[in-house]
């Protein structure tokens, strides 16, 4: 790409200095780095041979350039690029391109911020692969193995999406970037391919990006950015793994000398795994915290003329020696034990061999030259992997002692491989850190290259260190309660390690995944087709923008935690208490509802607004009945809610019960009484008191962000949330559940 390349890199790496939106999401820097790298990849893939002209303003006139050019653009309408205005919507970054005509590529920053990029596919056997047919212009799976009905996509931190067996069609409408994505519905997802100019036709809230390709109108692929095993025109394109293979989490080196590496020599057709004289083996740390050893060894490989795929792996049949093989030879190896390190696309002819694509993610050598393939703009001090020496051991982050411990029982140091092919030493030892009580903040695990010790520091205390002499290894989100007890909220350390002596990556997803959840609610929690037949649904309906189930608070909660819906027992218009005569909706206290929650692990009760909201015949409040087995008057709100909580606790004794206060409604004040003499504040207080009395979990949705002053922003009427309101409810419910499973103060 010609022109102002350095300026372009600075814009992508420092967007706010050029008037563009920041890539990070509430200071989650790892996501920001991922987005920067993805944007660098997109821009470089799409704009080879183009002149970069700078950041466009809405007043910029592109004219009719005499060469291919492109601009970056933020949200806005641009009238100076052709006869038709170009609009970049909020949440998007635009690349405006001239190649004879003006076109725009909108990149959905919001989709990237929530990490909706697929990490890998799960396949059942080698011949069951996604095939992108550029001749017939279809995307489909070649075959289903015996007994299998579907495949799965792994997204983010262990979310699985079922992929249905289906054939979809696409058109090669123009030369340029094409997105491969999975479009979800309630039964799974189908895989589709579209040109970037059609991206505005996709609902990205219900889609997952699988990768991208640069293709011309004749079906020639110029850049394949799909990083899982797949086929193009029936031929295997880029398998980063092989059937049943282990995938290396990081590569371990044993010395800080340059002669310690894995080198692929294309001239000699050999792989050298070299270690310093003082060491016999290296280690690969796998994702489960176990190790495979790497001997000092030399292995040979053969090449085939043309562009071919080769796999770098540790061969279990040869003492785990580093080995390179052609993909046609994969059946010659035991992949249940061997460890895949990466893959290469190599072009060979009768006289020479050249690497065309390097899919090895750690620092290594090709023909004695160091290669770093993590990003397109790699500084020297980019963390690539962590090394453990001698007897394998793990860094232990002790939240009770507030110490970062590298075991002192091992005398040899460890080394960290960095992006320039060199190594930084770390020594056995302990460092201490502080966690203030009643806080929730980001901490950095880093190596201090002056002391050679691993340490932890909070983001707010980072100025204590000279970061020119330190390297960040990963992020942790840690909370502490009022007693000073600390808990991991989110673990973003990319290599195997310990928390309180246990090998763990503790996240709310791993804690909630697979748990059965029952939603017990009113109209706010309904959606037609997802509630029992006979229950009245409020959503979807004309005039309300919650027109897809994936916009509802409870579906977001399920999708983003990996939980399973046991039952959505919601009924539009229903009350906690028995309604007056003549009304058809069944109350929360009706046994037809509470007896059929389908064995849940978690129950969320979200109701009560109809008891207070009904101006003509609201529910009477009544008095509490504190007897342990007395009869409850379920026509009165207090005793009806008591009856409901007591019944759910006895019917489902092993389930965690969460009861929610109603969200505030608009159109009336917090302390404005209805005709029964109750107001919104009293209703919330009653629910809180009942939760305290019966020892269940209280979710105070009065604090979710919807109030009597901003309700028009978050409600489509005075009660029912729009998409923005649903998002606030989902976020607060999730934080409240986290507070139970990972006890920290909800911030």
> Mapped to the 3 state alphabet, what secondary structure does 419-454 carry?
CCCCEEEECCEEEECCCCCCEEEEEEEEEECCCCEE
In the predicted model, is pLDDT for residue 295 greater than 60?
yes
Domain residue limits at 54 = 5-113
In the predicted model, is pLDDT for residue 301 greater than 90?
yes
Least confident range from 204-218, 443-457, 498-512, 651-665: namely 498-512
H or E stretch covering 73: strand 69-73
Report how far Cα 676 is from the mean position of its chain's Cα atoms.
47
Closest CA to 474 of 490, 448, 459, 492: 492
Least confident range from 194-198, 684-688, 717-721: namely 194-198
In the predicted model, is pLDDT for residue 128 greater than 60?
no
Segments of 82-225 assigned E as strands: 86-88, 92-98, 102-108, 118-122, 130-133, 138-141, 151-155, 159-163, 168-169, 176-185, 188-195, 207-215, 221-224
Domain-located, residue 379: no
- Give the relative orientation of helices 553-561 and 723-741 as an angle to the nearest 10 degrees: 50
In the predicted model, is pLDDT for residue 594 greater than 90?
yes
Question: Bridge partners of 455?
Answer: 446
Backbone angles phi, psi at 162, to 5 degrees: -70, 135
Question: Cα separations (Å) of 29 from 21, 23, 467, 510?
Answer: 14, 9, 16, 22
| Residue 371 contacts residue 363 (beta carbons within 8 Å) | yes
User: Using H for helix, E for strand and C for coil, what is the string for 470-536?
Assistant: EEEEEEEEEEECCCCCEEEEEEECCCCCEECCEECCCCHHHHHCCCEEEEEECHHHCCCCCCCCCCC
The CATH number given to whatever domain includes residue 626 is 3.40.50.1110
The pLDDT value given to residue 13: 64
The pLDDT value given to residue 25: 42
Domain-located, residue 360: yes
The pLDDT value given to residue 644: 96
The pLDDT value given to residue 266: 93
Same domain as 137, residue 84: no
User: Could you tell me which residue, 577 or 145, shows the higher pLDDT?
Assistant: 577
Q: What is the CA radius of gyration of the chain?
A: 29
How far is it, in rounded angstroms, from Cα 208 to Cα 205? 8
The pLDDT value given to residue 283: 62
Q: What's the average model confidence in pLDDT over 378-388? A: 37
Same domain as 544, residue 494: no
| Residue 389 contacts residue 291 (beta carbons within 8 Å) | no
Same domain as 528, residue 498: no
Closest CA to 491 of 443, 453, 456: 443
Least confident range from 161-175, 350-364, 406-420: namely 406-420
In the predicted model, is pLDDT for residue 221 greater than 80?
no
The pLDDT value given to residue 659: 97
The segment with the largest mean pLDDT, out of 64-78, 458-472, 532-546, 675-689, is: 532-546
Same domain as 290, residue 180: no
pLDDT tier at 629 (50, 70, 90 boundaries)? confident
105: Cβ contacts below 8 Å, ≥ 6 apart: 42, 46, 94, 95, 96, 97, 176, 177, 196, 197, 199
In the predicted model, is pLDDT for residue 289 greater than 60?
no
The pLDDT value given to residue 6: 58
How far is it, in rounded angstroms, from Cα 681 to Cα 700? 12
- pTM comes to 0.41
Which of 236, 263, 298 is at the close of a domain? 236
Which of 113, 140, 160 is at the close of a domain? 113
Closest CA to 205 of 737, 734, 724, 732: 724
The segment with the largest mean pLDDT, out of 198-212, 260-274, 351-365, is: 260-274
Three-state SS for 128? coil
Same domain as 687, residue 581: yes
pLDDT tier at 198 (50, 70, 90 boundaries)? confident
Domain-located, residue 378: no
Q: What's the average model confidence in pLDDT over 729-738? A: 85
Sheet containing 92-98: order of strands: 51-55, 69-73, 92-98, 102-108
Least confident range from 94-108, 240-254, 400-414: namely 240-254
Sheet containing 396-398: order of strands: 429-432, 403-406, 396-398, 498-499, 502-503
Same domain as 532, residue 491: no
Same domain as 620, residue 732: yes
Least confident range from 9-13, 393-397, 455-459, 681-685: namely 9-13
The pLDDT value given to residue 699: 94
Domain-located, residue 380: no
What letters, b where the CB count within 10 A reaches 16 and e where it falls short, cover 718-729? ebbbbbbbbbbb
Tokens 């009560």 correspond to: 608
Same domain as 16, residue 132: no
Q: What's the average model confidence in pLDDT over 367-377? A: 51
Least confident range from 104-118, 470-484, 726-740: namely 104-118
Tally of domains within the chain: 5
User: Could you tell me which residue, 285 or 236, shows the higher pLDDT?
Assistant: 236
Q: Write out pLDDT tens, residues 469-522.
A: 777 776 677 888 888 888 877 666 656 577 777 654 334 444 676 789 999 999
How far is it, in rounded angstroms, from Cα 673 to Cα 695? 29
In the predicted model, is pLDDT for residue 145 greater than 50?
no
The pLDDT value given to residue 679: 77
Sign of the C-alpha dihedral computed for residues 637, 638, 644 and 645 taken in this order: positive
Domain-located, residue 366: yes
DSSP string of 281-294, one letter each residue: EEEEEETTS-EEEE
How far is it, in rounded angstroms, from Cα 460 to Cα 448? 17
Least confident range from 159-163, 340-344, 571-575: namely 159-163
Domain-located, residue 491: yes
Same domain as 415, residue 289: no
pLDDT tier at 524 (50, 70, 90 boundaries)? very high
Question: Cα separations (Å) of 677 from 579, 611, 622, 624, 632?
Answer: 17, 12, 11, 16, 21
pLDDT tier at 617 (50, 70, 90 boundaries)? confident
Mean pLDDT over all residues of the chain?
Answer: 74
Domain-located, residue 747: no
In the predicted model, is pLDDT for residue 389 greater than 90?
no
How far is it, in rounded angstroms, from Cα 605 to Cα 659? 5
DSSP state of 56: P
Task: Name the percent of the chain lying above pLDDT 90.
Answer: 25
Backbone angles phi, psi at 508, to 5 degrees: -65, -30
182: Cβ contacts below 8 Å, ≥ 6 apart: 118, 153, 161, 163, 189, 190, 191, 192, 207, 208, 210
Which of 460, 491, 506 is at the close of a domain? 506
| Assigned token pair, 533 | 């037949």
| Residue 139 contacts residue 133 (beta carbons within 8 Å) | yes
Same domain as 320, residue 193: no
Same domain as 668, residue 549: yes
pLDDT tier at 379 (50, 70, 90 boundaries)? very low
In the predicted model, is pLDDT for residue 59 greater than 50?
yes
Least confident range from 6-10, 293-297, 515-519: namely 6-10
In the predicted model, is pLDDT for residue 668 greater than 70?
no
Between vectors from CA 314 to CA 427 and to CA 238, what angle results, nearest 5°? 115
Domain-located, residue 257: yes
The pLDDT value given to residue 468: 64
Work out the number of other CB atoms within 10 angstroms of the CB of residue 643: 21
Q: What's the average model confidence in pLDDT over 235-241? A: 48
The pLDDT value given to residue 28: 36
Three-state SS for 669? coil
pLDDT tier at 271 (50, 70, 90 boundaries)? very high
The pLDDT value given to residue 121: 45
Report how far Cα 423 is from the mean position of its chain's Cα atoms.
30
| Residue 93 contacts residue 72 (beta carbons within 8 Å) | yes
In the predicted model, is pLDDT for residue 120 greater than 60?
no
The pLDDT value given to residue 339: 75
232: Cβ contacts below 8 Å, ≥ 6 apart: 131, 132, 134, 221, 224
The pLDDT value given to residue 735: 77
466: Cβ contacts below 8 Å, ≥ 6 apart: none
Same domain as 498, residue 520: no
pLDDT tier at 438 (50, 70, 90 boundaries)? confident
DSSP string of 135-159, one letter each residue: TTTEEEES---TT---EEEEETTTE
- Per DSSP, the chain holds a count of helices (H) and strands (E) of 11, 47
């Amino acid at each position: 790409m010609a022109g102002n390349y350095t300026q372009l890199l600075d814009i992508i790496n420092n967007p706010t200095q050029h008037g563009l939106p920041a890539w990070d999401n509430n200071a989650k820097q790892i996501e920001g780095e991922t987005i920067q790298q993805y944007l660098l990849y997109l821009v470089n893939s799409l704009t080879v041979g183009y002149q970069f002209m700078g950041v466009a303003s809405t007043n910029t006139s592109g004219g009719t350039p005499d060469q291919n050019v492109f601009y970056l653009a933020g949200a806005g309408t641009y009238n100076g690029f052709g006869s038709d205005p170009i609009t970049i919507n909020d949440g998007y970054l635009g690349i405006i391109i001239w190649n004879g005509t003006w076109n725009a590529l909108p990149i959905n920053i919001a989709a990237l911020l929530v990490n909706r990029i697929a990490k890998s596919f799960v396949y059942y056997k080698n011949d069951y692969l996604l095939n992108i047919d550029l001749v017939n212009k279809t995307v489909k799976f070649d075959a289903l193995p015996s007994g299998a009905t579907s495949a799965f996509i792994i997204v983010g931190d262990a979310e699985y999406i079922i992929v249905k067996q289906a054939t979809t069609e696409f058109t090669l409408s123009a030369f340029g970037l094409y997105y491969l994505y999975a479009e979800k519905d309630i039964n799974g997802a189908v895989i589709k391919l579209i040109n970037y100019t059609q991206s505005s036709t996709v609902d990205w809230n219900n889609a997952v990006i699988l990768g991208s390709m640069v293709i011309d109108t004749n079906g020639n692929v110029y850049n394949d950015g799909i990083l899982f095993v797949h086929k193009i025109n029936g031929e295997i394109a880029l398998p980063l793994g092989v059937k049943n293979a282990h995938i290396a989490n990081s590569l371990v080196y044993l010395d800080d000398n340059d002669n310690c590496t894995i080198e692929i020599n294309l001239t000699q057709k050999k792989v050298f795994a070299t270690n310093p004289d003082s060491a016999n083996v290296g280690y690969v740390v796998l994702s489960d915290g176990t190790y495979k050893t790497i001997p000092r060894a030399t292995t040979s490989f053969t090449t085939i003329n043309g562009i071919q795929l080769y796999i770098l792996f540790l061969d279990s049949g040869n003492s785990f020696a580093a080995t390179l093989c052609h993909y046609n030879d994969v059946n010659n190896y035991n992949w249940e034990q061997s460890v895949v390190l990466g893959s290469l696309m190599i072009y060979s002819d009768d006289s020479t061999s050249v690497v065309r694509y390097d899919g090895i993610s750690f620092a290594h050598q090709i023909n004695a030259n160091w290669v770093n393939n993590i990003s397109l703009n790699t500084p020297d001090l980019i963390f690539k992997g962590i090394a453990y020496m001698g007897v394998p051991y793990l860094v232990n982050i002790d939240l009770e002692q507030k110490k970062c411990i590298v075991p002192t029982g091992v005398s040899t140091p460890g080394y960290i491989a960095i992006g320039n092919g060199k190594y930084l030493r770390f020594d056995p030892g302990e460092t201490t850190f502080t966690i203030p009580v009643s806080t929730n903040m980001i901490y950095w695990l880093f190596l201090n290259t002056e002391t050679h010790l691993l340490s932890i520091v909070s983001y707010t205390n980072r100025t204590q260190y000279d970061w020119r002499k330190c390297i960040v290894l990963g992020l942790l989100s840690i909370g502490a309660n009022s007693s000073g007890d600390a808990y991991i909220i989110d673990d973003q350390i990319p290599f195997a390690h310990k928390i309180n002596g246990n090998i763990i990556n503790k996240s709310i997803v791993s804690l909630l995944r697979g748990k059965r959840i029952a939603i017990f609610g009113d109209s706010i929690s309904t959606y037609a087709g997802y509630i029992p037949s006979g229950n009245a649904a409020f959503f979807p309906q004309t005039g309300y923008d919650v027109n897809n189930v994936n916009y509802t608070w409870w579906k977001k909660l399920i999708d983003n935690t990996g939980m399973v819906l046991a039952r959505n027992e919601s009924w539009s218009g229903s009350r906690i208490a028995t309604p007056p005569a003549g009304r058809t909706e069944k109350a929360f206290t009706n046994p037809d509802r509470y007896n059929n929650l389908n064995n849940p692990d978690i129950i969320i009760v979200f109701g009560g607004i109809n008891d207070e909201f009904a101006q003509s015949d609201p529910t009477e409040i009544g008095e509490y009945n504190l007897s342990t087995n007395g009869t409850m008057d379920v026509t009165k709100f207090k005793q009806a809610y008591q009856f409901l909580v007591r019944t759910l606790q006895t019917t489902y004794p092993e389930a965690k019960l969460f009861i929610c206060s109603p969200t505030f409604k608009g159109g009336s004040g917090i302390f404005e009484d209805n005709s029964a003499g109750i107001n919104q504040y009293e209703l919330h207080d009653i629910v809180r008191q009942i939760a305290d009395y019966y020892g269940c979990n209280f979710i105070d949705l009065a604090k979710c962000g919807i109030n009597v002053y901003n309700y028009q922003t978050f409600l489509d009427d005075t009660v029912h949330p729009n998409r923005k309101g649903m998002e606030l409810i989902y976020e607060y419910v999730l934080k409240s559940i986290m507070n139970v499973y990972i006890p920290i103060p909800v911030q």
